[in-house]
A = this chain, B = another copy of it.
Amino acid sequence: MFTPSKRPTIKEVAAAAGVSTQTVSRVVNARPDVSDETRQRVQHIIEELGYQPSALARSLIQQRSYTLGVVIAGLKFVGPSRTLNGITSAAEDAGYSLLLKELPHFHANDIVPIIDALKARHVDGIIWAVPEIGDNRSWVMDWSIEFSIPVIYLTMEPKEGISVVSLNNYLGGRLAMNHLIQQGYKNIGHIAGPLDWWESRQRFSAWKDCLKEAGYERSDKNYVEGNWSSSSGLTAINKLFQQYPNMDAVFAGNDQMALSVLHYANQKGIRIPEDLGVVGFDNIPEGEFFWPPLTSIQQEFHHIGTVAVQEMLKAIEANRKNDLVEARTIMLSPSLVVRESSLRLKEVQPRSSVKKP
């Protein structure tokens, strides 16, 4: 299965080349102050022995590991895994390794052991890629939790003094709602995600505000809370139609729940978009092939990860130079992707189109 040979150390290379370990170190790190002849010889021995410096030993002495801690939750969902995808590629490009920790569930609040494990391995910074839910952020302002390294939070309500990268969910909700209103729908219901999620509340607020601005009535019977799953979406749309019989459009908190609205409509013979307009959120790749194709709000998960890493690198550099590390909030803008499920005024926008902000 594998050859359990021990890897050579810098000492062995030095001995084989008849130089000091220091010289080997210089060659490995491509320092200029080595004679060409020596460099050649050492280089040769290195390849022969298959020598490879220990990043561990290096981290120890340099007090810098070129490793980032990533804390995530819900990897089995599209959003988190695509964001991680962005983090991995950006980190790789920057020459950083990633130490990954996944929380057992979204609400996990017992984060001290996680942070300790990361710090024990001398990570240079931590990307907290867990969405804000319930009180799972209650500790960020707790001064007893000392980080001593930069931390960047993803997907949460911006707060004074901490760095946040997030999609502007409120704006996304507004894009969805204003599109439906513009298409002439007047009785727009909402299937919200779980309202202990910050993202859900933002989308929910947008729904409320847009109805109000348009001068349409709204009551608490006009929305139902789901849990992001298609299954919960089906329950929700059933309940919603009972409570709100003259509903003519639905803004769903995500595409999975929107899928159930389409499913329900197909089953009941409700015509989409004529009788019922539907808009989702996230714009998952399958949405284009739902029946009918689903209008949605595009969220650049990958980009969130990339931006987070870039911010982290800046923070690490500033930290090194002992500069004051300025906390920054970055809000990314979503965009509207119009497809048939909401396109009642066909003459206006006859085909799929992507509108970038």
Residues of A in contact with B (beta carbons under 8 Å apart)? 1-7, 50, 52-57, 59-60, 65, 67, 70, 75-76, 78, 80-82, 84-85, 88-89, 92, 97-102, 104, 116-117, 119-122, 143, 146-151, 161-163, 229-231, 233-234, 256, 259-260, 262-263, 266-267, 285-286, 288-291, 302, 315, 319, 322, 325-327
Answer whether A263 and B290 are a contact pair too, CB < 8 Å, given A2-B148, A120-B53.
Answer: yes
Q: In the complex, are the beta carbons of B92 and A84 less than 8 A apart?
A: no
Give A325's nearest chain B residue, CB to CB: B1
Give A255's nearest chain B residue, CB to CB: B286
Q: In the complex, are the beta carbons of A1 and B291 less than 8 A apart?
A: no
Residue in A2, A81, A150, A326 with the greatest tally of chain B CB atoms within 10 Å: A2
- In the complex the two chains form, what is the Cα distance from A147 to B7 in whole Å? 10
The 5 A-B residue pairs with the shortest CB-CB distance, nearest first, are A81-B81, A88-B102, A55-B120, A75-B85, A230-B289
Q: In the complex, are the beta carbons of B119 and A52 less than 8 A apart?
A: yes
Answer whether A1 and B327 are a contact pair too, CB < 8 Å, given A256-B285, A302-B76.
Answer: yes
Give A95's nearest chain B residue, CB to CB: B117
Q: In the complex, are the beta carbons of A120 and B89 less than 8 A apart?
A: no
Chain B residues contacting A75 (CB-CB under 8 Å) are 81-82, 84-85, 88
Q: In the complex, are the beta carbons of B1 and A163 less than 8 A apart?
A: yes
Chain B residues contacting A122 (CB-CB under 8 Å) are 54-56
Chain B residues contacting A322 (CB-CB under 8 Å) are 4
Answer whether A102 and B120 are a contact pair too, CB < 8 Å, given A56-B60, A230-B289.
Answer: no
- In the complex the two chains form, what is the Cα distance from A5 to B259 in whole Å? 50
Chain B residues contacting A121 (CB-CB under 8 Å) are 55-56, 67, 97
Q: In the complex, are the beta carbons of A81 and B76 less than 8 A apart?
A: yes
- In the complex the two chains form, what is the Cα distance from A255 to B101 in whole Å? 29
